[in-house]
């Protein structure tokens, strides 16, 4: 007779499902349990490896006035076709394409671009990322900020720099921690709790 034996098992399952739900509900803490997940594919390394030989280092030979730049579906399609033709061994998923699109729009608008490619957790950990060469990269959690050296297009924010900033700010300020890349008078920004690359406006110049 299977039924009587099943009942205690089902009861245990029900209890197991209900208790964690009750424990989770009342405690929405003010801090992220971790930063936003890093990108799976390092976008500038990908571009330099597969696209720069025809479009120039970091897209410097792209035409800033091409109509493709303001036609989002066309641009998406070009990126998809170019990636399939020139980087078939590294297939790009929709998120990778969105990141490449953002980088393309930053490149043609001569804006800096930022991406987070890895981090360790729990804090203070270490964060690695990419930024357009020639930008000044900073970790900012107002009022604290620390300058991060850029090597080519990659940077590492080590545990010491993170701890230095963390020690100077409140929980609320830490929650808003940003990485900022400044080139000339233009900035790219990432809020670590919610973003892993700098989004560009669809039409450059906004």
Question: Which residue from 45, 68, 76, 136 is in contact with ligand HEC, where contact means CB under 6 A?
Answer: 68
Per CB under 6 A, the segment of 47-55, 111-119, 138-146, 178-186 that binds ligand HEC is: 47-55
Determine if 51 is a binding residue for ligand HEC (CB under 6 A). yes
End-to-end CA distance of the chain: 71
Q: How far apart are CA 99 and CA 67, in angstroms?
A: 20
Nearer to ligand HEC among residue 50 and residue 119 (C-beta): 50
For residue 185, give both structure tokens.
Answer: 């008078």
Q: How far apart are CA 37 and CA 118, in angstroms?
A: 8
Determine if 86 is a binding residue for ligand HEC (CB under 6 A). yes
Q: How far apart are CA 149 and CA 162, in angstroms?
A: 14
Determine if 200 is a binding residue for ligand HEC (CB under 6 A). no
The residue sitting closest to ligand HEC, measured at its beta carbon, is 51
Nearer to ligand HEC among residue 55 and residue 166 (C-beta): 55
Rg (CA), the chain: 22
Determine if 54 is a binding residue for ligand HEC (CB under 6 A). yes
Q: How far apart are CA 88 and CA 177, in angstroms?
A: 36
Give how many residues touch ligand HEC by CB under 6 A. Answer: 18
Determine if 79 is a binding residue for ligand HEC (CB under 6 A). yes
Question: Which residue from 82, 97, 140, 186 is in contact with ligand HEC, where contact means CB under 6 A?
Answer: 82
Burial degree of 99 (CB within 10 A; 0-12, 13-18, 19+): buried
Q: How far apart are CA 102 and CA 51, in angstroms?
A: 15
Determine if 87 is a binding residue for ligand HEC (CB under 6 A). yes
Question: Which residue from 104, 119, 153, 183 is in contact with ligand HEC, where contact means CB under 6 A?
Answer: 104
Q: Which of residues 114-143 bind ligand HEC (CB under 6 A)?
A: none
DSSP secondary structure string for all residues of 88-111: TTS---HHHHHHHHHHHHHHHTT-
Binding site for ligand HEC (CB under 6 A): 50-51, 53-55, 62-63, 66, 68, 75, 78-79, 82-83, 86-87, 100, 104
């Amino acid at each position: 007779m299977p039924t009587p034996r099943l009942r205690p098992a089902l009861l245990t399952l029900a209890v197991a499902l209900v208790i964690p739900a009750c424990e989770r509900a009342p405690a929405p803490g003010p801090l992220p349990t971790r930063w936003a997940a890093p990108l799976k594919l390092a976008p500038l390394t990908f571009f330099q490896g597969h696209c720069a030989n025809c479009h120039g280092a970091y897209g410097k030979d792209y035409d800033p006035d091409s109509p493709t730049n303001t036609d989002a579906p066309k641009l998406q399609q070009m990126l998809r076709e170019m990636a399939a033709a020139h980087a078939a061994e590294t297939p790009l998923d929709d998120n990778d394409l969105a990141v490449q699109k953002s980088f393309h729009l930053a490149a043609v608008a001569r804006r800096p671009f930022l991406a987070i490619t890895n981090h360790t957790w729990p804090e203070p950990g270490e964060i690695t990322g990419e930024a357009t060469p020639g930008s000044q990269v900073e970790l900012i959690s107002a009022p604290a900020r620390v300058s991060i050296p850029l090597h080519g297009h990659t940077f590492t924010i080590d545990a010491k720099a993170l701890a230095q900033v963390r020690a100077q700010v409140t929980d609320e300020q830490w929650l808003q921690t940003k990485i900022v890349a400044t080139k000339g008078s233009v900035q790219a920004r990432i809020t670590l709790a919610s973003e892993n690359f700098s989004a560009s406006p669809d039409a450059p110049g906004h």
